[in-house]
Amino acid sequence: MLNSALKDLVTARILPNVQMPAQYLGGELHSVRKDHREARGSVCIAFPDTYAMGMSHHGLQVLYSIMNASGWACERVFAPLPDFEAALRNHGLPLYGLETFTPLHRFDVLGFTLQYEISYSNILTMLDLGGIPLHAEDRGPDDTLVVAGGPGGQNPEVIAPFIDLFVLGDGEPSLPFLCEQWKAMQGSGKSREDKLAAIASQVDWAYVPRFYEPIYNDQGIQIDTVRTRDDVPESIRQCVETDLDASPLPTRPVVPFVQTAHDRIAIEIMRGCPWQCRFCQSTTIKRPLRYRTVETIVSAALETYKNTGYDEISLLSLSTSDYPRFEELVTRMSEVFTPLGVKISLPSLRITEMLKKIPALLQEGRRSGLTLAPEVARDDMREQIRKPVKNQDLYDGCREAFRRGWRKVKLYFMCGLPGERPVDLDGIVEMAETISRIGKEETGRFADVTASVSNFVPKSATPYQWNGMRRREYFEWAHRYLKAKVSLRSVRIKCHDIETSLLEGVLTRGDRRLAPALEEAWRRGARLDAWREHFNPQLWWQTFEDLGVDLDFYVHRTRGVDEVLPWDLIRIKKGRDYLAKEQGRSVVQLEAMAGAV
C-alpha cells in the first residue's frame, strides 16, 4: 500500500535539496511495510525529535516490533529538520509514516513518546504537518487517535489540549490494548468523547485530559481537579509489564542508513531501580523492579547481532551493575562476544565495590572510556540526595580501569541541588582532579577526565517536586566558579546550557494554563529546542512575557507540601505520602548541613 504519488513527489522535489535525505526515505534493513487494508489497523509511532535521536531510542524499537508482530501495520515518524519542514509546507505535502508514505492523519492511531519536555514544540510541528488538528477538541469521531506516553506523561498538563489520551507506565501491554479498542469502535457512530470514555473506564492507566478540570483559587494556585464524567478513574496509575522476561526484545531492530546517536545493539536487562535517590523520577515511576534472565539476555543479544552485524552491545537499565547476576551476565557476554570482536557497553554503572571488578570482566572489551554518575562529591550532600556511594569505591574502580587500559573517565554531576554550597562545587573539581592524578600514578600520564555538570530541575513524582529551581544568576555563577577552580589541563568541566534547563523547568513544572504559550512559541518559530543550533531562548522568554506568564510562579517558587500540584492526579506506586515524608527528611538534613558549616 505504498503511497507512490507522495513518495515520488518527495524524492523528486524535496530530498535532493535537504540535509541527510536518507532519514526521510524509510526502507531500512528490517523495516516492515504492510498493506494497511490487510492489517488489523494502522499505528504510527512518533518520536518528537530528529531521526538520529529517535532511531537510538530502544523503546521505539520495542513497540515497533510488538505492534507489527501483533498484526498491525506499525510505522515510524520523526520531527523534520527545518529545511524539510519548509519544503513540505512550500509544496503543500504532509508529514508521513516512513514505511508507506501514508500521511499521519490517515493512521488509526498516532503515538508520541515523551522522553524529554523540551521536545514539546516538535509535537505541534508533527501534528500540523501530518494534517491532524492541533487541539484534541477539534478532532472528529473517527479522526486519528493521538496518544502519548513516556516519562513526560508524569506531568501531562502543559500538552494536555493537544493529546487525546496519555498512557502512564509500560507501553508493551498498554499500546496494543488501546489500538484494539479504538479500532473496534471506528464506524460505530459513537462520539469521540464516548469512545475515549469507553477506553478510560476499563483501565486505571489511561488519562484523558478533557474529562478532568483543574480548579484554581484567586492567587492562581491549583486547589483541586474535578472529573467531568463519573465513568473515568478518579486517579491514574502506572501500567505495569509484570513479566519482563517474557516480554519480547526486538531482535530484528530497524538498522538506519545514516549515523544516529547510538549505533549499537541495545538490550534492556532490568526495569526499575533498587535505590531511592530523591532527585530521580525514574526510580519512582518505574517500580516494581523487574529482571530478564541471563539466558534471555545473551540469547537475544546473539540473535540481534546475527541480524544486524553491529559491533557493540549496550546493556541497558537505570543501574546496570545492580542487576542481581551482574558478574555472571558480563562474564557470559564477554565469553560469547569477545571472540566475535563485539564490544560490551555498560552505560549506567553504580559506584560500589563492584566497580573495581568491572575492568577485569571486560578486559578485552571497550577501553576508550569509563562513564560514571556520582551526581555530587561530598558525603553529606550525598546523604541529602539519598545516593549512597563512596568516593573510595569510585577511586578504586578508576585505578583498576587505568591498570587495564582505560584512558578516559566521564563523570556526571548536578549543580543547583537543594542546600548546595561552594564546598559542594569544590568537591566536583577535587574529585575530577583526583581521578586524573590516579591515572598518572598508574600509567605515567594524567587521565583525561570530563565532569559533565547538569543544572538541577525538580521533577514531578520525586521528593523534590515541591522545591523551586535555582535562578539563572546562580547557575551562571556556579559554572564560572567550577571552571575557575580547575588546575589540571587534563580535567574539563562541561556545563549544560542554562537557558535550555530553564525552559525544561517551565515545561516540567507547568500546568494546563501554559499550553497557549507553548502553542504561541511554536507559531513564532520554536523548533527542535533540544538542539543548540535551533534553540532560540529569547523567543520563548518573549512569548512568556507577552502572554503574561509568571515564570517565578512556575519555576522558582517553593510549593507547600499540602499544595495541590498539577500532576497529583497521576499516582506512583509508593504514593504521595512517601514523597512528602522524604521531602520532610530532606528539610531536616538541610538544616543540619547548614548548621554544620
Please name which of 158, 49, 182, 180 lies closest in space to residue 112, comparing C-alpha atoms.
49
Checking if the pLDDT of 590 tops 50, the result is yes
Per the model's pLDDT, the better-predicted residue between 575 and 50 turns out to be 50
pLDDT of residue 356: 72
Q: Which CATH architecture has domain 4-227?
A: 3-Layer(aba) Sandwich (3.40)
Domain boundaries in the chain?
4-227
Give residue-wise pLDDT tens across range 418-435: 999 999 999 999 999 999
**Whole-number Å distance between alpha carbons of 212 and 460:** 19
**CB burial class (10 A; 0-12, 13-18, 19+) of residue 8?**
exposed
Is the pLDDT higher at 389 or at 570? 570
Residues 501 and 245: their CA atoms lie apart, in Å, by 36
At residue 423, what are phi and psi to the nearest 5 degrees? Answer: -65, -25
What is the predicted pLDDT for the residue at 365?
Answer: 46
pLDDT score of 345: 87
SS3 385: helix
Beta strand 491-495 with 145-149 is: unpaired
- Other Cβ atoms within 10 Å of 214 Cβ, number: 18
| pLDDT for the residue 355 | 76
Among 35-44, 119-128, 276-285, 352-361, the range scoring the smallest mean pLDDT is 352-361
pLDDT of residue 358: 77
411 Cβ contact partners less than 8 Å away, ≥ 6 residues apart: 372, 373, 374, 431, 432, 435, 449, 450, 451, 452
Mean of the per-residue pLDDT values of the chain: 94
pLDDT band at 97 (very low <50, low <70, confident <90, very high): very high
Q: Exposed, middle or buried, 415 (CB in 10 Å: 0-12/13-18/19+)?
A: buried
Single-letter residue type at 439: G
For residue 596, name the pLDDT band (cuts at 50, 70, 90).
low
* Non-local CB neighbours of 5 within 8 Å, separated by 6+ positions: none
Position with higher pLDDT, 403 vs 472? 472
**pLDDT for 363 beyond 60:** no
- pLDDT for the residue numbered 2: 87
Amino acid in the structure at residue 151 = P
What are the Cα distances from residue 340, in Å, to 305, 313, 314, 335, 393?
A: 10, 12, 15, 9, 32
pLDDT of residue 366: 47
The distance of Cα 250 from the centroid of its chain, to the nearest Å, equals 19
Reference 95, options 57, 51, 55; nearest CA is 51
pLDDT in tens, 384-397: 999 888 899 899 98
Percent of the chain with pLDDT over 90: 87
Residues 481, 484, 488: CA angle, nearest 5 degrees: 135
